[in-house]
Chains A and B, each alone.
Chain A
Amino acid sequence: MRSIILILLSIIIASNLTAQTYSWPILPYPSGKRVTSGYCAYRPAYNSIVEHFHEGIDIPEETDPLCHVYPTTLAYKVIKIYTLGPDNNLMVKVIHYSDDTSSALSEGSKYIHLKEVLENIYEDSIYIGDPISAATDLYLDHLHFEYRTPSDLANSNNPFAITELQIEDNTAPTLCSLYVDYSRQGDAEVACWEYLGSNFAQYYGTVTGGGYTFLKLGLPMETPWNDWDDPHFIISGNRKVRFIIKMYDASISAPYNYYLVVDTAIVDLSGGSYESDAHYQVKFDGLLSSEYHREETVYHQEEPIVSGWNSQYYRLYPYGTMPSCIIKRLALATENLEEGQHRIRVMVKDYNGNTKTADVHFYIREHDWVDYCRGFKN
């Protein structure tokens, strides 16, 4: 008997319920709608800034001609104009209104890195169709745009939830690595599982963060229904491990907005279905104001590990404090899995439906030997 561990990354496109005119926040945009940093892209700590998920999207400026910056709704009320830097780095926060200004919507937006704001734009005034900044270049050459709800604008949302703010994207996300956290959970042991002359060494490595060593498995491009070329490893000892996955979406494309699903259905190497309940689902379509996320990828149940910027990016959530983007979580107790072969399938799908999958196999070993027959038993 085998189990499948299926990590499925998928997408929900939030539908926009209000009949409302939206448009791209810079005009004109002769180079097209472009995004250089997506929603929920991980930003490490620097200076006095704590690590966090990017709460908006970065839109590169247009310089020929210089772009105007307009709120994405036709009608809006300016509720705040801040100066962020010593000079020329302004933030404007607005509440969205219905096109005819008759009602304030329970949403708004923020525009950051403006080098100037039009002198005739005032806080607490309602405008229709007016730019907030005219023919300007932008600090660090980009507009940071945030789409926020509810009426106090406390939470950030994925701007791509609004059809008019979506961009063209033909690039699939990238799956980088699966980290196996084994030393902090007890006396689990992990080892490369090379068999029948296979060589998985290219995928197999270790990395140390916060004083702990993780098994790091590279995720090769999935060849559908061919499991022979996937990384394989063996879990023994008390067999209690936790997994962390690293992935990202290409920089000019859709933002992170995915499910992470762990499925424990039985593996079926002939290509059958995977139908058991999801263990983990992650989707980045919104961040609550109470959450300052400290994790670039999410799959964990226990106490955090100190992470730093650069190669150590496995900051894990304390159990019970995971953010709202994890919509489903059930403990994946590897220690309770049946002896034999299991598979993790990772699927990531971005906003535009571009998909990437990868598999990792592991063998749960209770006896002193690996039962190859058990491994390949159907």
Chain B
Amino acid sequence: MKRLILAISAFFFCFSRAEVKVEKVLETTSIKEYNQWVKKNRARYPGLRPIYITVDQIHKSVSENDMDEYKITYYNDDGRLNKQETIRGWFEMGIFNNGELLFIARREHKYYPINEVRYIKNKDGDILLNLSRIRSYTIKYWGQSFWIENNPYKGGPTNNSRIRIFDHKGNVIGEIKNAWLIDNVLPDTNEDYLFFAVEEKDEITEAVLFYDINNNKELWRKKFSSAINIAISSDGAYTAIGDSGKIYVFDKQGETVYTSQPFTSTGRNPSIIFSDDNQYLATVLGPKICFYNNKTGELLWQTKIDDPDPGEKFIYFFETNNALYIVVAYISNYIYILDTEGKVVKKFQLPFGYAWHYKKTASGDVIRDRKIAVSNWSSKFYDGLLIIKRDRTIIIYNIVPE
């Protein structure tokens, strides 16, 4: 595999003290290379994890009597091949726990559970937990000592719709009633609390609910009419909801800390994030970014980004050398770094290029419409590293204060 390490020459924006440099420190399609980079930099970036498991489809079923075939590869810390196996069937799979666990649901019929098995494999490819006896569909979240089921399919929602929480041995340790589909679930850092956005049994109302894991107790619940974006502070003291152009911030008891309507677009839901120390809250919807004092609810500033396609993709806080930054990415593949005064201190674009967007006409024909950025990538943020993944490509950017 071709190795590419590129350092980008930095653009300089002469705003206050808070300038940053963005360096591309790794771009690769090789897991060996990625894992060795992670290992080499472990002292500096202890939160960064190697890739242990990859899943590749090697055969796609051509009929209902045929089956899919996947190759599962397990790697060690050095990115060397640990084990490889080929599995056949109809599958639902997912990788959890920083890439260390693989969930596999396998059956021999497209729709029905003929010879169905469900299990969790660890990074050595050994079965850690057999879930076949648990009538749960898949896993939504894997925590340090528990996991949450995901069973959103039809038949439900019914009067008995509930979400269950299991320990790592597969015993039920908690149950949330009148909740069906989990839109989103976020823990605080210690995993004492879970903040859920769920569909209730009627599939029409949505709710957020705050759940105490240690006491297996739903502490409070609030209904919302539209789709919800949620956030939880690192210590669980605050929760936030972005709904229909508005933001709502609640404390642990579910009391309103403040609400605000910073966006005129009421049809859409802002993304929200708390700073690590709970001092600030940032929110984005389209080109507009807003920054709040989270203790008082005061809007400190708002700004509009001049972006060619300002559909927000993520918002993060990032802290280095005692300076706080806000990182916002758009589907244009532009990433903006702002300081706490709302100034863009850095703007750069991910190198994934453009593709045609198609449109259906009234006559049912499909025509080429316009070019849009290829933005089917995902991201993670660790210790000042922005890690971007798209298919096999991994790019690591280092954000360095200047």
Which residues of A pack against B, CB within 8 Å?
21, 23, 27-28, 36-37, 43-52, 55, 63, 68, 70, 74, 79-87, 89, 99, 116, 118-120, 122-125, 128-131, 134, 137, 139-141, 152, 154, 289, 292, 309
**B267 vs chain A, min Cβ distance (A):** 4
Q: How far is the CA of A74 from the CA of B116 in the complex (A)?
A: 40
The residues of A that contact B361 with a CB separation of less than 8 Å are 74, 129
The residues of B that contact A86 with a CB separation of less than 8 Å are 92-96, 103, 138-140, 150
Q: How far is the CA of A23 from the CA of B364 in the complex (A)?
A: 6
The residues of B that contact A23 with a CB separation of less than 8 Å are 360, 364
Which residues of B pack against A, CB within 8 Å?
60-61, 64, 90, 92-96, 103, 110-113, 116, 135-140, 149-156, 158, 181, 183, 199, 202-204, 226-227, 244, 267-269, 309, 311, 313, 331, 357-362, 364, 366, 369, 372, 375-376
Once A43-B154, A125-B267, A140-B110 are accepted as A-B contacts, the answer to whether A79 and B227 lie under 8 Å apart by CB is yes
Pair B360/A123 contact, Cβ less than 8 Å? no
Find A70's partner among B149, B155, B360 (CB 8 Å cutoff). Answer: B360
Pair B111/A48 contact, Cβ less than 8 Å? no
Q: How far is the CA of A376 from the CA of B226 in the complex (A)?
A: 67
Pair B138/A120 contact, Cβ less than 8 Å? no
**B195 vs chain A, min Cβ distance (A):** 17
**10 further contact pairs, Cβ within 8 A, besides A50-B155, A131-B360:** A23-B360, A23-B364, A27-B366, A46-B116, A50-B158, A70-B360, A120-B372, A122-B311, A134-B358, A141-B60
Q: How far is the CA of A60 from the CA of B136 in the complex (A)?
A: 26
**Top 5 A-B pairs, shortest CB-CB distance:** A86-B94, A50-B155, A124-B267, A48-B151, A129-B359
The residues of B that contact A37 with a CB separation of less than 8 Å are 111
Query: Interface on chain B toward A: helix, strand, loop, or mixed SS?
Result: loop
Pair B376/A292 contact, Cβ less than 8 Å? no
Pair A309/B136 contact, Cβ less than 8 Å? no
Q: How far is the CA of A154 from the CA of B376 in the complex (A)?
A: 32
The residues of A that contact B268 with a CB separation of less than 8 Å are 122-125
By beta carbon, the residue of chain A nearest B162 is A48
Find B227's partner among A44, A123, A131, A140 (CB 8 Å cutoff). Answer: A123
* 26 pairs, CB–CB < 8 Å, chain A vs chain B: A21-B364, A37-B111, A43-B111, A47-B136, A47-B137, A47-B151, A48-B149, A63-B60, A70-B360, A82-B152, A82-B183, A85-B92, A85-B94, A85-B138, A86-B140, A119-B311, A120-B357, A123-B268, A125-B267, A129-B361, A134-B358, A137-B60, A141-B60, A152-B204, A154-B202, A154-B203
Pair A99/B269 contact, Cβ less than 8 Å? no
Q: How far is the CA of A52 from the CA of B361 in the complex (A)?
A: 36
Max chain A C-beta neighbours (<10 A), residue from B111, B309, B376: B111
**A69 vs chain B, min Cβ distance (A):** 11
Pair B61/A141 contact, Cβ less than 8 Å? yes
By beta carbon, the residue of chain B nearest A75 is B362
The residues of B that contact A43 with a CB separation of less than 8 Å are 111, 154-155
Q: How far is the CA of A205 from the CA of B51 in the complex (A)?
A: 59
The residues of A that contact B92 with a CB separation of less than 8 Å are 85-86, 89, 139
Find B358's partner among A51, A84, A89, A131 (CB 8 Å cutoff). Answer: A131
Pair A49/B95 contact, Cβ less than 8 Å? no
By beta carbon, the residue of chain B nearest A21 is B362
The residues of B that contact A50 with a CB separation of less than 8 Å are 155-156, 158
Q: How far is the CA of A230 from the CA of B369 in the complex (A)?
A: 62
The residues of B that contact A130 with a CB separation of less than 8 Å are 357, 359-360, 369
Q: How far is the CA of A82 from the CA of B153 in the complex (A)?
A: 11
Pair B150/A45 contact, Cβ less than 8 Å? no
The residues of B that contact A44 with a CB separation of less than 8 Å are 112
By beta carbon, the residue of chain B nearest A164 is B364
The residues of B that contact A83 with a CB separation of less than 8 Å are 183
Find B376's partner among A116, A124, A309 (CB 8 Å cutoff). Answer: A116
**B60 vs chain A, min Cβ distance (A):** 7
Pair A74/B113 contact, Cβ less than 8 Å? no
Pair A129/B96 contact, Cβ less than 8 Å? no
Max chain A C-beta neighbours (<10 A), residue from B61, B154, B226: B154
Pair A309/B95 contact, Cβ less than 8 Å? no
Once A47-B151, A50-B155 are accepted as A-B contacts, the answer to whether A36 and B64 lie under 8 Å apart by CB is yes
By beta carbon, the residue of chain B nearest A23 is B364
By beta carbon, the residue of chain A nearest B153 is A49
Pair A140/B90 contact, Cβ less than 8 Å? yes
Pair A84/B152 contact, Cβ less than 8 Å? yes
Q: How far is the CA of A49 from the CA of B156 in the complex (A)?
A: 7
Q: How far is the CA of A152 from the CA of B139 in the complex (A)?
A: 29
Pair B372/A49 contact, Cβ less than 8 Å? no
Find A292's partner among B64, B136, B158, B366 (CB 8 Å cutoff). Answer: B158
**A252 vs chain B, min Cβ distance (A):** 11
By beta carbon, the residue of chain A nearest B159 is A292
Q: How far is the CA of A49 from the CA of B152 in the complex (A)?
A: 8
The residues of A that contact B375 with a CB separation of less than 8 Å are 119
Max chain A C-beta neighbours (<10 A), residue from B64, B92, B96, B360: B360
Pair B60/A55 contact, Cβ less than 8 Å? no
**B47 vs chain A, min Cβ distance (A):** 22
**A16 vs chain B, min Cβ distance (A):** 16
Q: How far is the CA of A27 from the CA of B313 in the complex (A)?
A: 27
Find B269's partner among A55, A124, A128 (CB 8 Å cutoff). Answer: A124
The residues of B that contact A89 with a CB separation of less than 8 Å are 92
Pair A47/B360 contact, Cβ less than 8 Å? no
Q: How far is the CA of A43 from the CA of B155 in the complex (A)?
A: 9
Find B331's partner among A36, A119, A134 (CB 8 Å cutoff). Answer: A119
The residues of A that contact B244 with a CB separation of less than 8 Å are 124
The residues of A that contact B113 with a CB separation of less than 8 Å are 46-47
Q: How far is the CA of A55 from the CA of B153 in the complex (A)?
A: 11
